[in-house]
Amino acid sequence: MRAGAAAAALLLLAACQSLPPVPEAARERAWRGHAARLAALEAWTLVGRMTAQADGRSLSASLRWHHGVGGDAIVLTAPLGGGALRIELDAAGVRLVASDGGERRAADAAALLAAELGVAVPVEALRYWVVGLPQPGAAARRELDREGRLRRLRQGGWEVEYRGYEAAGPWILPRVLFARGGEAEVRIAVERWRPGEAG
């Protein structure tokens, strides 16, 4: 049994190594179509986990992120009854509500999270990165995979690495992404996508 599995793995590895390179022009064409489909996705819900760390402080929480035309609502729930944090973003700014009822408002989500959690998570940019798009209006450098999806993105002082995709309806969405900006690191592992559902 083990010998058969090993042989199958070797055959698969050999097949992967023999795949011809995809021309850059073809990957760019695939990217334009892929990005246009993602840009048209106006509402989604993501369920998964997020870990973040910076300056010796760390955060690990389950993640539920609702995005819709009116803005975003992000709920971070710490393990073992450690409490929850709700972050709401809209055109007016960001509102943070803790499980104890405490509430704070600010114009900048990253600064608010840095003050609250000790980790400056770039939420405004993550709203785009998490679906596999660069944040509009900001310079970016990208590397594409064979299918014309983001493999690596550099933007706003951060480098985002995409470690897998999955189909969710007609969309192909990231499964795991890892972002690093200076000493800060953020990892999001998606358990379930619900495209078209904002809450």
Dihedral sign, Cα of residue 119, residue 122, residue 123, residue 128: negative
The answer to whether the pTM exceeds 0.95 is no
Q: How far apart are CA 102 and CA 89, in angstroms?
A: 17
Helix (H, G, I), strand (E, B) or coil at 72: strand
Residue range 74-123, pLDDT digits in tens: 999 988 666 888 989 888 888 888 877 778 887 777 777 777 777 778 88
**Domains located in the chain, CATH noted:** 24-195 (2.50.20.10)
Residue range 28-77, pLDDT digits in tens: 999 999 999 999 999 999 999 999 888 888 888 999 999 998 899 999 99
Token readout for 124 is: 């405004």
Residues 6+ apart with CB under 8 A from 32: 148
**CA trace torsion 7, 10, 11, 14 (10° rounding):** -160
Q: How far apart are CA 88 and CA 95, in angstroms?
A: 5
